[in-house]
Amino acid sequence: MLKIAQLTATRTIVIKDREPLVARENEVVIGVQTAGICGTDLALFSGDYPVPLPLVCGHEFVGKVKSIGEGVDKRWLGRRVTAEINNTCIAYNRTPVCRACKMGMPSHCQQRTVTGIINHDGAFAEEVAVAQGTLHEIPESMDSATAALTEPLAAALQTFEMSPIAENDTVVMMGPGRLGILIVFAVALKGCRVIAVSRSEAKRQRSLAFGASKALSPDQAEEAVKEITEGLGADIVVDATGHPDGITLALSLVRPRGTLSVKTTCGLPTQGLDMTKLVVDEIRLQGSRCGPFGPALKILEKHQEKLKTLITSTRPLAEAQQALESATLENKVMLRMD
């Protein structure tokens, strides 16, 4: 029997035994080594993001392939991997594929399950099963805890896949927390000016260390951003505050014909969105989520000493309840399966 940390009710994790998983066709079973806790996990845990329960959460992880199903390349056996979260038509090598996959949008596959979130148990467990097409091998030079940052870093990069930025653009990053600090880092790598906005002095200081040119409190933000941009506003404002009303402040910071990029997945609806300003200022509203693992792994490999400092604590699977509770106050909590 193997252990899982199962979300059985709001804010309730139960450690249970489960039979070893059996890989289905075009699927692999991974022995999980490390799994990260993110804002979506916390929204599932709190009940703000309602999904059918019970569920094993966890979609940021690293482990070794233990077994493979029919149709899987045998060379995956024993490899250390991470996996994209969407188990899609293409990832399972199904025929025919759904319309979304035909259109080149597999992350929106109409038949997908989402590891640790939608109809698919995740990695807060000693084993997880995923589609073969989601796998990415981890470079030997990278430790497993750092490699577990691949999924959130990929999501950070996807912000600018959906809303490309130019070298001299001004980007405001609202909410430089677990995901937001990776977005700050990604913007700095692109050579753009990034301004972090946070209520937390510690997060503001960390943002400066990760490439922000300025770090402001929310009450300073509008005046300072307008001053920096000659009264116009930022080219792009990214909202990763984790609060549905973050977009209200974001609207006051973005320039006409600029972009509001929304990264918050707190599960709660926003209130009072100023549609008139959105229309009159011709502002583009863009959501984004899952991103490219290949580029994320290259960045992690090159900058792993810097990025691993974002991990604030690691707890055993048996302490998953406490880990989720403490993750509301920490930057990045990891679960280990040993």
CA 15, 111, 264: angle at the middle one, nearest 5? 65
- Specify the pLDDT at position 73: 97
Encoded tokens for 116: 């640790």
The whole-number average pLDDT for the span 105-110 is 97
pLDDT band of 80, cuts 50, 70, 90: very high
* Residue 243: predicted pLDDT: 82
Question: What does DSSP assign to residue 22?
Answer: -
> Mind listing the domains of the chain with CATH numbers?
2-149+311-336 (3.90.180.10), 153-287 (3.40.50.720)
Give the pLDDT confidence score for residue 197 in this predicted structure: 98
For residues 183 and 194, give the distance between their C-alpha atoms in angstroms, rounded to a whole number. Answer: 9
- CA–CA dist 132, 283 (Å, integer): 39
Q: Which residues pair with 7 in a beta bridge?
A: 13, 55
Q: What is the mean pLDDT of residues 127-136?
A: 98
CB 25 within 8 A of CB 131: no
Question: What does the pLDDT read at residue 242?
Answer: 83
**Predicted confidence band at 167 (pLDDT cuts at 50, 70, 90)?**
confident
How much is the average pLDDT of 291-300? 97
Average pLDDT of the segment spanning 124-142: 97
Average pLDDT over residues 228-234: 97
- Token reading at 212: 């922000």
Express each pLDDT in 252-288 by its tens digit: 999 999 999 999 877 767 777 889 999 999 999 999 9
> How many Cα neighbours within 13 Å face the side chain of 136?
23
Percent of the chain with pLDDT over 90: 93
pLDDT, averaged across the chain: 96
Q: How far is CA 135 from CA 61, 86, 253, 311, in A?
A: 11, 11, 39, 23
Q: Distance between CA atoms of 248 and 216, rounded to whole angstroms?
A: 17
The lowest-confidence range among 139-143, 265-269, 286-290, 294-298 is 265-269
| For residue 128, pLDDT beyond 90 | yes
pTM attached to this predicted model:
0.95
247: pLDDT strictly greater than 90:
no
Three-state DSSP at 60 gives strand
d(CA 298, CA 302): 6
Residue 204 confidence (pLDDT): 98
Question: If pLDDT is split at 50, 70 and 90, which confidence band does 338 have?
Answer: confident
Per-residue pLDDT at 266: 72
Mean pLDDT of all residues in 181-199: 96
**pLDDT score recorded for residue 271:** 76
